[in-house]
Each structure stands twice: as structure tokens, then as C-alpha cells.
Amino acid sequence: GEGSNGGTDKPDHFFVVKDVESGKITNLNIQNWPTHCFYIEGAAGLTVSGLTLDNSAGDDPNSASGDDPAAHNTDGFDIS
């Protein structure tokens, strides 16, 4: 529970892509990532397609979050 605000340690970004000059990320199905799903930095010619991202399980509370949703800061993309 608590996403990036506490609880157990989690990776800062689940999937990191840096300094790619060309490439493809295709046909991925990702469920219940712990915090910040994708981080993409310095990518030119990168194609991202066919992704299914489902973090809806984090909408429910758990024993660590009390009555609040368990997930926090579980945004899909951070692109710079």
C-alpha cells in the first residue's frame, strides 16, 4: 500500500528507456505496476504501440492503506 509514499520499497520506474536512437516497444500487457510505469528519456525514433496498462487493482484499499486506495503515483508515462 501507499505507492511511492511509503510502505515497502519499490522501483522508482518499472520500465526505463534512455538514449535510444530507434526502437520499438510493442504488444505489452502490464498489470499492477508498483509506481510510475514508464520512464522514457532522450529517445528519438522510438515507436510505442499495442500497450495494455491496467492498474485498476490499486483503486481498492489494502491493509497498509486503510480506507484509501492502495496505489499512489502509479502514472503510466514520464517522458522527457
Cell 484509501 locates to 68
pTM higher than 0.75 for the full model?
no
- For the chain, the structural domain boundaries read 3-79
pLDDT of residue 36: 81
Question: pLDDT averaged over consecutive 10-residue blocks of the chain (80 residues)?
Answer: 57 86 95 85 95 83 78 76
Handedness of CA 78, 13, 9, 66 (dihedral sign): positive
Residues sharing a CB contact under 8 Å with residue 51, sequence separation 6 or more, in sequence order: 25, 27, 28, 29, 30
pLDDT at 13: 82
The reported pLDDT for the residue numbered 6 is 58
